[in-house]
Amino acid sequence: MIQIHDVSKRFGEFEAIKDVTFFVPKGSIYGLLGSNGAGKTTLMKMMAGIYKQNKGTITIDGEPIFENIKQKERMIFLPDTLYFFPNTTIRQMADFYRHIYPKWNEERFYKMQELFPINMNQKIHRMSKGMQRQVAFWLTFSAMPDVLILDEPLDGLDAVMRQKVKNILFQDVAEREMTVVISSHNLFEVEDLCDRIGILHNGSIIIEKELDNLKTNIHKVQVAFHGQTPSSFLKQMDVVYQEYRGSVLLCIVRGKEEQIIAHIQKHEPILFDLLPLTLEEIFIYEMGEKGYDIENILV
Ligand SMILES: Nc1ncnc2c1ncn2[C@@H]1O[C@H](COP(=O)(O)OP(=O)(O)OP(=O)(O)O)[C@@H](O)[C@H]1O
C-alpha cells in the first residue's frame, strides 16, 4: 500500500504540491488526473523517492520511500520522458535491469517477444517513440515490480499496443497484487483502468473517488408527465442538475437506482428513461458542485 499523508513540495518560493493526502491500496490501480502543471509528475517523483517532500510522509508498505533501496528494488517509475543508456540494445538494457531488480523474470522477458514485435538486438535510440515505449514496458513487466508508477504511460502507443499493455497491467494486478499509479490528462484513457481516481489542481487534490461507487450513485433521468411536473417530484430527490428539453425534463440525480426508479414510477410519468453517465459527465457535475469547471482542469 502507498500512503501519502499531508505532503507538500516547494521549488523555491513556489508550492507545487499542497497538503496532499490519499492512499493506494495494494493490488489496485489509482488514476492521478490533472491539467498541465497540476503537479502530477512532482507527486509521482516523490512517490518514487526521487524528490523529497518538504512536509508530510510518503510510505510504501509502511516504510518511507526516500533513499530506501529495499523499497526501490520492488518499484519501477516510468517517466513521461524515457531514458535508456546511450547506444544500447534491448538485450543490454535487460542485462542492467536483471542486476538491479531482484525479481527479474528471465522467462517472462523472452516470452514477451511475442507481445512486443521488436528485435532485442536492435539499438533503442534508433527506434520510434512508440517502439521505445514498448521497450520500456517490456523491461518493466519483466522486472516484476510490486509497485508501478506510470507517468503518461500510453502516450505514443497505438491502439493495439495500448490494449496489450493494459491487459498485462490487469493481469499483474489480479495475479500478483501489483499496485499501480497512473497519471493522465484524459478521463477516457483511465476510465476502464482505474479502481480509484484523484484529480489534482494547482497542487491540491480537489476530488478523490472510488470508481464503482461513483457510477452506482449518480444517474441521468429523462422524464415527462401529463401537464406540469408534479411539485413533489423534484423536491424528494437529490437533484444535481436539471433542464427542460421541450416537455422532457432531463436531470442528474444522486441515489440508489431502485429508489430513484420507485420514486419516478410513483408519479406516473408518460415517458421515463434512466441512463448511465460517462465518467466525464460524472466529474462535470461533481466538480461543478465544488465550483470548478472540468474543461479547465482536465484535457
Ligand atoms: N524542478 C522544478 N523546479 C521548479 N519548478 C518545477 C520543477 N518541477 C516542476 N515544477 C513546477 O511545478 C508545477 C507542477 O509541475 P509538474 O511537472 O508536476 O506538473 P504535471 O501535472 O506533471 O504537468 P504535465 O501534465 O504538463 O506533465 C509546475 O508549475 C512546474 O513548473
Residue boundaries of the structural domains of the chain = 2-212, 217-297
- Among 3.40.50.300, 3.40.50.2000, 3.40.50.2300, 3.40.50.2020, name the CATH number for the domain at 2-212: 3.40.50.300
Q: Output the pLDDT for position 299.
A: 52
What whole-number distance in Å separates Cα of residue 158 and Cα of residue 131?
10
Q: Output the pLDDT for position 190.
A: 82
Q: Is 11 in the pocket of ligand 1 (CB under 6 A)?
A: yes
- Choose which residue among 42, 152, 202 to substitute to test ligand 1 binding: the one with the highest number of ligand atoms within 8 A of its C-beta: 42
Between the CA of 15 and the centroid of ligand 1 the distance, in Å, is: 10
- Could you tell me the pTM of the whole model? 0.86
Residue 176, number of CB atoms within 10 A of its CB: 13
Complex-level ipTM: 0.97
Q: Cell match 410513483: residue?
A: 266
Q: Output the pLDDT for position 106.
A: 96
CA 80 to ligand 1: nearest atom: 27
Q: Output the pLDDT for position 171.
A: 96
pLDDT along the chain (299 residues), means of 10: 97 96 96 89 96 96 94 95 92 95 96 92 93 96 97 89 94 97 85 89 89 82 91 87 90 90 92 87 76 67
Q: Is 41 in the pocket of ligand 1 (CB under 6 A)?
A: yes
Beta bridge mates, 148? 76, 180
Nearest to 44 by CA among 14, 72, 74, 79: 79
Q: Determine the residue type at 103.
A: K
Residues 6+ apart with CB under 8 A from 58: 2, 3, 4, 5, 7, 46, 47, 49, 64, 65, 66
Distance of CA 192 to the CA centre of its chain: 9
Residues 6+ apart with CB under 8 A from 217: 254, 255, 256
Same-fold call for 2-212 versus 217-297:
no
Between the CA of 281 and the centroid of ligand 1 the distance, in Å, is: 27
- Choose which residue among 7, 8, 9, 11 to substitute to test ligand 1 binding: the one with the highest number of ligand atoms within 8 A of its C-beta: 11
Between the CA of 203 and the centroid of ligand 1 the distance, in Å, is: 9
CATH code assigned to 217-297: 3.30.70
CA 185 to ligand 1: nearest atom: 25
Count the alpha carbons within 13 Å of 245 in the hemisphere toward its beta carbon: 5
Q: Output the pLDDT for position 112.
A: 94
Nearest-Å Rg of the Cα atoms of the chain is: 23
Residue 108, number of CB atoms within 10 A of its CB: 14
By alpha-carbon position, which residue is closest to atom 17 of ligand 1? Answer: 41
